[in-house]
Amino acid sequence: MQTNPINLLDAVNVDSVRCECLVIGSGVGGSVAGARLAEAGRDVLVVEEGELSTVPRYSNKIGQMTALLYRGGGITPFLGRPMIGFAEACCAGGGSVINGGLLWRTPPHILQEWKEEFGLAGFDEVALRAHFETVERRLCVNRHCTEEGNRDSQLLKKAANQFNWKVVAVPRALVNCTNLNLCATGCPSGAKQTMLETYLADACKKGARLLPNCRVYKLESKGSSRVGRARCSLQLPHGQKKYVDIEADEFFLSGGAVQTPHLLAKSGLAPHVGQRLQYHLNLKFAAKFATPVHAEQGTMFTQQVQEFEREGLYMMASNCQPNYLAATLVTHHRKEIEKLLNERFYWALYVAQLRSKSVAKIISAWNEPIVLNHFHSSDFENFKKACIRMSQLLFGAGAIQIYLPIAGAHPVSSEKEVTQALQSAQPSQCRLISVHAMASCPMGNHSTAITNTDGGLKGFDNIVLCDASILPTNIGESPQGTIMALAHEILDRRVSLNFRAHKVAVTRGVAAPKPRMNME
Ligand SMILES: Cc1cc2nc3c(=O)[nH]c(=O)nc-3n(C[C@H](O)[C@H](O)[C@H](O)COP(=O)(O)OP(=O)(O)OC[C@H]3O[C@@H](n4cnc5c(N)ncnc54)[C@H](O)[C@@H]3O)c2cc1C
Kindly state whether residue 74 falls inside one of the protein's structural domains. yes
Q: Are residues 294 and 372 in the same domain?
A: yes
Under 8 Å between Cβ of 278 and 374: no
Pick from 416, 439, 462: which residue ends a domain?
A: 439
Q: Are residues 452 and 374 in the same domain?
A: no
What confidence category does residue 519 fall into, taking pLDDT thresholds of 50, 70 and 90? very low
123 CA to centre of own chain: 20
DSSP 152: H
Using only C-alpha atoms, the chain has a radius of gyration, in whole angstroms, of 23
CA distance 97 to 28: 9
Number of structural domains (the chain) is 2
- Residue 41 above 70 pLDDT? yes
| For ligand 1, atom 17: residue with the closest CA | 95
- Residue 34 above 50 pLDDT? yes
Kindly state whether residue 262 falls inside one of the protein's structural domains. no
Q: If you measure from the C-alpha of residue 435 to the centroid of ligand 1, how many angstroms do you get, rounded to a whole number? A: 9
| Structural domain containing residue 514 | 1-52+104-138+196-256+441-520
The whole-number pLDDT of residue 498 equals 62
Query: What are φ and ψ of residue 211, in 5° steps?
Result: -115, 95
What tens digit of pLDDT does each residue of 283-328 get?
999 999 999 999 999 888 999 999 999 999 999 999 999 999 999 9
Strand-pair partners of 24: 47, 253
What tens digit of pLDDT does each residue of 191-217 get?
999 999 999 999 999 999 999 999 999
* Averaged pLDDT for residues 91-107: 97
Q: Are residues 425 and 501 in the same domain?
A: no
Strand-pair partners of 433: 85, 282
Residue from 519, 470, 466, 459 nearest 495 by CA: 466
Helices (H), 267-408: 322-328, 334-342, 377-396
Mutate to test the pocket of ligand 1, among 103, 181, 235, 259 (most ligand atoms within 8 A of CB): 259
Task: For ligand 1, say whether the CB of 172 is within 6 Å of any of its atoms.
Answer: no
* Averaged pLDDT for residues 144-151: 78
Kindly state whether residue 261 falls inside one of the protein's structural domains. no
Kindly state whether residue 57 falls inside one of the protein's structural domains. no
Residue from 156, 495, 493 nearest 293 by CA: 156
Under 8 Å between Cβ of 57 and 69: no
* Averaged pLDDT for residues 359-366: 96
Q: Are residues 369 and 432 in the same domain?
A: yes
Q: Are residues 348 and 389 in the same domain?
A: yes
Q: Are residues 281 and 336 in the same domain?
A: yes
What confidence category does residue 514 fall into, taking pLDDT thresholds of 50, 70 and 90? very low
Q: Are residues 81 and 24 in the same domain?
A: no
Mutate to test the pocket of ligand 1, among 99, 233, 434 (most ligand atoms within 8 A of CB): 99
Pick from 439, 459, 484: which residue ends a domain?
A: 439
| For ligand 1, atom 27: residue with the closest CA | 256
The whole-number pLDDT of residue 446 equals 87
Q: Are residues 407 and 388 in the same domain?
A: yes
| b/e per residue 104-117 (b: at least 16 CB within 10 A) | bbbbeebbeebbee
Q: At 216, which amino acid appears?
A: V
Angle at 49 between CA 448 and CA 518, to 5 degrees: 100
Residue from 398, 426, 400 nearest 414 by CA: 400
Pick from 439, 454, 469: which residue ends a domain?
A: 439
Task: For ligand 1, say whether the CB of 87 is within 6 Å of any of its atoms.
Answer: yes
* Averaged pLDDT for residues 247-270: 97
Q: What is the pTM of this model?
A: 0.95
Q: Any idea what the CATH number is for the domain that residue 215 is in? A: 3.50.50.60
- The dihedral built from the CA positions of residue 445, 450, 455 and 456, taken in this order, carries a sign that is positive
What confidence category does residue 506 fall into, taking pLDDT thresholds of 50, 70 and 90? very low
Task: For ligand 1, say whether the CB of 486 is within 6 Å of any of its atoms.
Answer: no
Kindly state whether residue 307 falls inside one of the protein's structural domains. yes
Q: Are residues 134 and 1 in the same domain?
A: yes
* Averaged pLDDT for residues 31-53: 97
What tens digit of pLDDT does each residue of 386-443 get?
999 999 999 999 999 999 999 989 999 999 999 999 999 999 999 999 999 999 999 9
**Among the listed ranges 56-60, 141-145, 515-519, which one has the minimum average pLDDT value?**
515-519
CA distance 372 to 232: 26
The whole-number pLDDT of residue 433 equals 96
The whole-number pLDDT of residue 5 equals 86
CA distance 168 to 103: 13
Q: Are residues 231 and 343 in the same domain?
A: no
Residue from 501, 456, 442, 455 nearest 114 by CA: 442
Kindly state whether residue 244 falls inside one of the protein's structural domains. yes
The whole-number pLDDT of residue 1 equals 53
Q: Any idea what the CATH number is for the domain that residue 342 is in? A: 3.30.560
Kindly state whether residue 268 falls inside one of the protein's structural domains. no
Task: For ligand 1, say whether the CB of 28 is within 6 Å of any of its atoms.
Answer: yes
Q: Are residues 109 and 238 in the same domain?
A: yes
- Residue 507 above 50 pLDDT? no
The whole-number pLDDT of residue 494 equals 86
Q: Are residues 347 and 394 in the same domain?
A: yes
Compute the mean pLDDT over every residue in the chain, rounded to the nearest whole number: 92
